[in-house]
Structure 1
């Protein structure tokens, strides 16, 4: 029996492949959680893992999250994810990208890849030289596709406003205190959108210089990466890596709302109950951060059908994210269950795995 069957995040995944190409040095994991609604769609994470078991856990958790994300976003796509294990210096070569493209192609269209942490549009272009089952490629002005980061940020921005309206009963972000963890494409995009609305921002990033530079640009405050989760604020917005909401992380929060784009923010499902018990409103990550996959999935689907897909359709679908969040929170308020459990139940029904 494969070792990953004993992983707590194994969830009857349809397919898990470990890919090793000796010539290029590629080692990768491709996990398909569900193809009930369509091909498993989800980005590829390029990362150095001190323990390969961590890569397997990421692949399993992230692919399941993509099943839920795509289902809740109303996309005809299943859930899949890939991780490419890099060495300590993060070396990534075109030969590795080509070998990974070959591995995706060998899946026969059951897995569609895109950008994730550590991946760029240029990486997708290289992968696309070996397979057509890739999205997040360069597109013309006004077309869906390209870098998913700004679209993910757009959805999170809308979701934060919805959370503030639901929890704080405010219809404006003016003066609302938001602590943002991560100032990359997603977190930085969220910060810029909120700054325009007059939110009071506290920023942090593993790269202190990046956080300070963005804070200076937006008139915000910057704090060290290890301090941001304890900042007194109305909204804590995690937009870096996941599993930060564990016992210690939740105990240190001083906020009313958690709403951000990081995948798998809850270290374990039971941590959603801890947030709920503390009266902290939680925006399930795979619902609020769906903007990027909406963008690249529409790009892929339109290209497969030989049809154009303009950006207005992407924006229209991203604008539906707040409504989905409100439905989850209203059900949570009515039944007393944590919002993550409510969202999971909804998603499981959509992919044919409901009770």
Structure 2
């Protein structure tokens, strides 16, 4: 990785664009990591950061992850990410800010294609789409590719969790497998419902404890404090909230034998992938297991196939994970490093 402009996560990005719109109060970052395989596709998130540097770092890391995710998913798309800064935690984004962000995307002339991410929704994406044609994840008719990526992301992670349970635990099904799920929003909640249907024993945590309690009541799950979920007594830990949660300290406290979840950039540093590997914990690289959503909105934008094609491609996520794990076993390298190597090869880095 090449450090640049004082940001360690700058990885020879093709462009990092900072936007302001005084009339609406918009502050946004769009990072374009690579357009080698096609336009840089990746969602836009609305989030509060302690500093603007934190927002830029997030955009850099997430856009790089999108390059790798899209390449490993076999999509004709590069990697990019948008970040809209909230002025304070809990603040709502205005229609004027959404429109201004849409104009920012349009100004890049199609090099970046945006979609829904944390803090956004289909309705908000429709407002953005009023200002730019370079947007995906819009409401679609039944049977078509596109729409809310959350359920497709959850389905892909579900398939990946089952593959990881088979690989790491020798489990032929999920009945009785103890899964600790961090984050029960659209993706984590969807995953929990699918696993509960298979008889998994679930422990849930969310920064919104009321949401976790409501889902636990629905599924017969247990709720613990958000800060305790990673060290829960479980077979599998599934991070499905924000990233950088696998640190030297949290890895040392893990009791699970498998990590398989949809949060982006779960490893706080590259060295943490080696720490997970050295502990003998099976790790499902995040951008491989969580590709379902981008497969859906990517095919929508590219105009390739329908929902059946989306589901067929998502069904290949377990075999991609097996490819990574097989090479990790052969080489002795951490699964995170193997996935990066394969992705870099695909985008010519």
Q: TM-score scaled by structure 1?
A: 0.96
TM-aligned CA deviation for residue 278 of structure 1: 0.3
| Aligned partners of 1:148 and 1:295 also within 8 Å | yes
Match of 1:322 among 315, 318, 329: 318
TM-aligned CA deviation for residue 6 of structure 1: 1.8
- Give 2:199's aligned residue: 198
- Give 1:284's aligned residue: 285
How many angstroms apart in 2 are the aligned matches of 1:203 and 1:138?
Answer: 30
1:151 paired to 2:152: yes
SS of corresponding position for 1:193: helix
TM-aligned CA deviation for residue 94 of structure 1: 1.0
Aligned length: 346
SS of corresponding position for 2:16: strand
How many angstroms apart in 1 are the aligned matches of 2:55 and 2:266?
Answer: 16
- Give 1:105's aligned residue: 106
SS of corresponding position for 2:127: helix
- Give 1:85's aligned residue: 85
Structure 1 ranges of 4+ moved more than 4 A: none
- In the TM superposition, what are the counterparts of 1:176-195 in structure 2 within 5 Å? 176-195=177-196
Q: RMSD of aligned C-alpha atoms?
A: 1.0
| Aligned partners of 1:155 and 1:291 also within 8 Å | yes
How many angstroms apart in 1 are the aligned matches of 2:200 and 2:220?
Answer: 10
- Give 2:126's aligned residue: 125
- Give 1:211's aligned residue: 212
- In the TM superposition, what are the counterparts of 1:195-344 in structure 2 within 5 Å? 195-302=196-303, 309-344=305-340
1:280-304 Cα shifts (integer Å, max 9, x gaps): 00000000000000000111111xx
TM-aligned CA deviation for residue 91 of structure 1: 3.0
- Give 1:142's aligned residue: 143
TM-aligned CA deviation for residue 4 of structure 1: 5.9
Cα 1:4/1:92, change in 2 over 3 Å: farther
Query: Mind listing any 5+ residue stretches in structure 2 that lack a counterpart?
Result: none
TM-aligned CA deviation for residue 168 of structure 1: 1.3
SS of corresponding position for 1:227: helix
SS of corresponding position for 2:31: strand
How many angstroms apart in 2 are the aligned matches of 1:8 and 1:224?
Answer: 32
| Aligned partners of 1:150 and 1:189 also within 8 Å | yes
- Give 1:43's aligned residue: 43
SS of corresponding position for 1:226: helix
TM-aligned CA deviation for residue 133 of structure 1: 0.3
| Aligned partners of 1:4 and 1:56 also within 8 Å | no
| Aligned partners of 2:4 and 2:11 also within 8 Å | no
SS of corresponding position for 1:337: coil
Query: Mind listing any 5+ residue stretches in structure 1 that lack a counterpart?
Result: none
| Aligned partners of 2:236 and 2:259 also within 8 Å | yes
1:186-225 Cα shifts (integer Å, max 9, x gaps): 0000000000111010011001111111011001111111
How many angstroms apart in 1 are the aligned matches of 2:279 and 2:176?
Answer: 23
- Give 1:171's aligned residue: 172
